[in-house]
Amino acid sequence: MGPADTVNHGIQTKLKVALGRRYHFAAAHRLHSNRLSEAQNRELYGKCNNPHGHGHNYILEVRVSGPVDPATGMIANLADLDAFVQRQVLDNYDHKSFNEDVASFRDTDTVPTTENLCIDIFQRLKTFPQATLEGIRVEETSNNSFEYAGEHTEDAAQ
Amino acid sequence: MVLLTRKIEFSASHRYDNPNLSPEENRRVFGKCNNPHGHGHNYTLEVTVAGEPNPLTGMVLDLKELKDLLEREIMQRMDHRNLNVEVPELAGKIPTCENLALLIWNLLEPKIPSGTLHRVRLYESPDLYADCYRPAASNRGASNFASTYLPDAETGH
């Protein structure tokens, strides 16, 4: 189905199709800000400030959108998306320590909260050539999740 | 505006193959999904309807009516079917998650008894879904991410 199938009904907007894909990675972090004292860090981050760090099984949800290619029926070939996410994110994140192994945190004094992970992941994925990155969502645990759709959310997300 | 979501599950088989491409091209583009004898999935479909609750009934729409509509339009058409062979609306199309979500939208939108169809989300597996929606101004701000944690039986995550 191509754009011809996304019929406009009067004032309604065109149909949009998006693809969501979930990935998994495990990584370690320690929440500690060099701009705060030891006591302030302990007070603010609690257990997450434990000097030796801890880790999570993260789930990353990536949403892309675009026209459905009539020849393939796809917005983007999953093999291309998987390889891109693997190269841009998973190879850099999986079984690593954000504080010690990931340059975008280690070298920039960025606290590896899941909020900051979202922004870093979005930057890594926004150049996906085959479709438009709508946004990403990261589950740190099944009870905590964070979303980011860039700074122009009104344009990027529904 | 209140959003109401009904979930159903169906199982179907499919194969990705474009007759305009050579067998080698098909294998390259579609990989395992081009396997000649097809394969199948347990699909999960979430249908979200938007509307104001009727003051008399307190409902956006009668869930029984939505359930019957999904049974008639989706289950009878797709459940335990070969999507390439048995669903005429998909003739000439690759039965991807995207195309299925679009077909489901087009089947349901004109028949929603009250309220308006807000989103169709079709999961092919816990880690892959396609959405169909109209990005209208009134929808702005509503999150489109999976709202629930779906444990992945295959990986144990």
Of A17, A71, A139, the CB nearest to B132: A17
Q: Has A147 been annotated as catalytic?
A: no
Residue B157 inside a domain? The answer is no
Strand A16-29 versus strand A96-97 pairing type: parallel
Residue B154 inside a domain? The answer is no
Task: Quick: pLDDT tens for B78-95.
Answer: 999 999 999 999 999 999
Q: Supply the pLDDT for residue A151.
A: 87
Contact A95, A26 (CB under 8 A): yes
Q: Round to whole Å and give the CA distance between B15 and B37.
A: 7
Task: Quick: pLDDT tens for A116-125.
Answer: 999 999 999 9
Q: Supply the ipTM of this predicted assembly.
A: 0.81
Q: Round to whole Å and give the CA distance between B41 and B64.
A: 26
Q: Supply the pLDDT for residue B30.
A: 96
Q: Name the band, by pLDDT with cuts 50, 70 and 90, for residue A13.
A: confident
Contact A58, A22 (CB under 8 A): no
Q: Supply the pLDDT for residue A14.
A: 86
The CATH number assigned to the domain with range A18-151 reads 3.30.479.10
| Chain B residue closest in CA terms to A21 | B128
Q: Where are the domains of chain A?
A: 18-151
Q: Is A90 on the interface with B (CB under 8 A)?
A: no
Contact A97, A106 (CB under 8 A): no
Res. B115: pLDDT tops 70: yes
What value does the mean pLDDT take over residues B111-115? 95
Task: Quick: pLDDT tens for A71-96.
Answer: 999 999 999 999 999 999 999 999 99
Burial A51-67 (b: 16+ CB within 10 A, else e): eebeebebbbbbbbbbe
Q: Supply the pLDDT for residue B104.
A: 98
Res. B151: pLDDT tops 80: no
Q: Is A73 on the interface with B (CB under 8 A)?
A: yes
Residue B152 inside a domain? The answer is no
Q: Supply the pLDDT for residue A131.
A: 97
Q: What is the tally of structural domains in chain B? A: 1
- Three-state DSSP class for residue A60: strand
Residue B8 inside a domain? The answer is yes
**DSSP one-letter code for A46:** G
Task: Supply the pTM of this predicted model.
Answer: 0.84
Q: Has A52 been annotated as catalytic?
A: no
Query: What mean pLDDT is reported for chain B?
Result: 90
Least confident range from A10-19, A96-105, B108-117, B135-144: namely B135-144
Domain carrying residue B104? 2-139
Residue B117 inside a domain? The answer is yes
Q: Which residues of chain B have a CB within 8 Å of the CB of A68?
A: 96, 98-99, 102
DSSP B23-64: HHHHHHHHGGGG-TT-EEEEEEEEEEEEEPPPTTT--SS-HH
Residue B109 belongs to a domain with what CATH number?
Answer: 3.30.479.10
Q: Supply the pLDDT for residue B152.
A: 45
Q: Supply the pLDDT for residue A157.
A: 41
